[in-house]
Amino acid sequence: MWAGQVRGALPPNSRGMTAPTVRGLTAARGKALLATLALTAAATPALAAARGSDAHITNTQAHKMPVGFWVAGDLHVHTIYGHDTCTTPTEAWDPASTDRNARRSCADPYTVGFTPTQRLDEAEQRGLDFVALTDHNNVVNQTDPDVIAWTQEHPSFVFVPAYENSQPGHVQMLGARSCYGNDGAIVGAVIECDQKVADKSAAGEAALADGLRADGGVFQVNHPSDGNWPAAFGHTVVPDTVEVWNIGPWAFQHPFPASNDNDFSLRWYDEFLRQGDHVAITGGSDTHWVTTDSGQGVGEPTTWVFVRQLTLQGVLRGLRAHHTFVSALPPALSGPRLFLEADRNGDGAFEAIAGSETSTHATYRVRTAGALPGSVLRIVTDSGTAEVPLGVESSYTFRPGVGGIPAATMFVRAELLAPDGKTQRRSGCDPVVGAQTTLCRNDLAMEALTSPVFIG
For residues 74 and 9, state if they share a domain: no
**Average per-residue pLDDT for the chain:** 89
For residues 236 and 155, state if they share a domain: yes
Q: What pLDDT, on a 0 to 100 scale, did the predictor assign at position 68?
A: 97
For residues 157 and 211, state if they share a domain: yes
Output 32 or 332, whichever has higher pLDDT.
332
Is 268 a domain residue?
A: yes
Q: 3-class SS at 92?
A: strand
Is 346 a domain residue?
A: yes
User: Which domain range does residue 422 map to?
Assistant: 1-13+27-67+336-456
Output 305 or 59, whichever has higher pLDDT.
305
Q: pTM for the complete prediction?
A: 0.89
* Least-confidence region, from 68-77, 216-225, 332-341, 431-440: 431-440
Domain at 299, CATH number: 3.20.20.140
Is 453 a domain residue?
A: yes
- Which residue type, as a one-letter code, is found at position 72? A
- 17 pLDDT more than 60: no
Domain count of the chain? 2
For residues 176 and 261, state if they share a domain: yes
What 33-36 contacts at long range (C-beta under 8 Å, 24+ apart), as own/partner pairs, is 33/249, 33/329, 33/333, 34/249, 34/328, 34/329, 34/336, 34/372, 34/418, 34/445, 34/447, 35/372, 35/418
Q: What pLDDT, on a 0 to 100 scale, did the predictor assign at position 392?
A: 78
Is 369 a domain residue?
A: yes
Name the domain boundary from 331, 357, 384.
331
Angstrom distance (rounded) from CA 262 to CA 421: 18
Angstrom distance (rounded) from CA 80 to CA 82: 6
- 209: Cβ–Cβ under 8 A, 6 or more apart, which residues? 171, 219, 237, 239, 240
* Least-confidence region, from 75-79, 87-91, 229-233, 249-253: 249-253
- 51 pLDDT more than 50: no
Is 19 a domain residue?
A: no
- 121 pLDDT more than 80: yes
* Chain segment 348-399, per-residue pLDDT in tens: 999 999 999 999 999 999 999 999 999 999 999 999 999 999 887 899 999 9
**Backbone φ and ψ of 11, nearest 5°:** -60, 165
For residues 213 and 327, state if they share a domain: yes
Q: At what angle do helices 145-153 and 116-125 cross, to 10 degrees?
A: 20
**Backbone φ and ψ of 115, nearest 5°:** -70, 160
For residues 120 and 195, state if they share a domain: yes
**Backbone φ and ψ of 7, nearest 5°:** -55, 130
For residues 171 and 305, state if they share a domain: yes
Is 303 a domain residue?
A: yes
For residues 156 and 49, state if they share a domain: no
Q: What pLDDT, on a 0 to 100 scale, did the predictor assign at position 4?
A: 59
Mean pLDDT of 261-265: 96
Confidence at 57, pLDDT banded by 50, 70, 90: very low
Cis peptide leading into 66, omega within 30 of 0?
no
> Which is nearest to 319 in space by CA: 81, 76, 110?
76
For residues 36 and 98, state if they share a domain: no
Angstrom distance (rounded) from CA 74 to CA 157: 12
Mean pLDDT of 43-51: 37
Q: What pLDDT, on a 0 to 100 scale, did the predictor assign at position 327?
A: 98
> Which is nearest to 372 in space by CA: 21, 39, 18, 7?
39
Q: What pLDDT, on a 0 to 100 scale, did the predictor assign at position 436?
A: 84
Mean pLDDT of 143-149: 98
Q: What pLDDT, on a 0 to 100 scale, did the predictor assign at position 19?
A: 32
Could you tell me how many helices (H) and strands (E) the chain has, helices first? 10, 23
Is 131 a domain residue?
A: yes
Please report the beta strands in 180-279, taking only residues with DSSP state E, as ranges in sequence order. 180-181, 184-185, 218-221, 241-246
For residues 169 and 317, state if they share a domain: yes
Mean pLDDT of 402-430: 93
Is 112 a domain residue?
A: yes
- In this structure, the strands spanning 337-343 and 324-327 are unpaired
Angstrom distance (rounded) from CA 175 to CA 15: 27
Q: What pLDDT, on a 0 to 100 scale, did the predictor assign at position 18?
A: 30
Residue 61 CB burial class (10 angstroms; 0-12, 13-18, ≥19): middle
What 87-91 contacts at long range (C-beta under 8 Å, 24+ apart), as own/partner pairs, is 87/112, 87/113, 88/112
In angstroms, the Cα distances linking 160 to 131, 134, 182, 391 are 6, 9, 22, 38
Cβ–Cβ < 8 Å for 189, 162 = no
Q: What pLDDT, on a 0 to 100 scale, did the predictor assign at position 383?
A: 98
Q: What pLDDT, on a 0 to 100 scale, did the predictor assign at position 256?
A: 85
Angstrom distance (rounded) from CA 185 to CA 208: 9
- 128 pLDDT more than 70: yes
What proportion of the chain, given as a percentage, has pLDDT over 90? 76
For residues 119 and 48, state if they share a domain: no
Name the domain boundary from 309, 331, 353.
331
Cβ–Cβ < 8 Å for 400, 386 = no
For residues 410 and 429, state if they share a domain: yes
* Chain segment 61-97, per-residue pLDDT in tens: 444 678 999 999 999 999 999 999 999 999 999 999 9
DSSP H helices in 371-415 = none
Q: What pLDDT, on a 0 to 100 scale, did the predictor assign at position 259?
A: 83
Angstrom distance (rounded) from CA 325 to CA 101: 38
Name the domain boundary from 331, 348, 364.
331
Q: What pLDDT, on a 0 to 100 scale, did the predictor assign at position 315?
A: 98
- In this structure, the strands spanning 280-284 and 241-246 are parallel
Cβ–Cβ < 8 Å for 168, 233 = yes
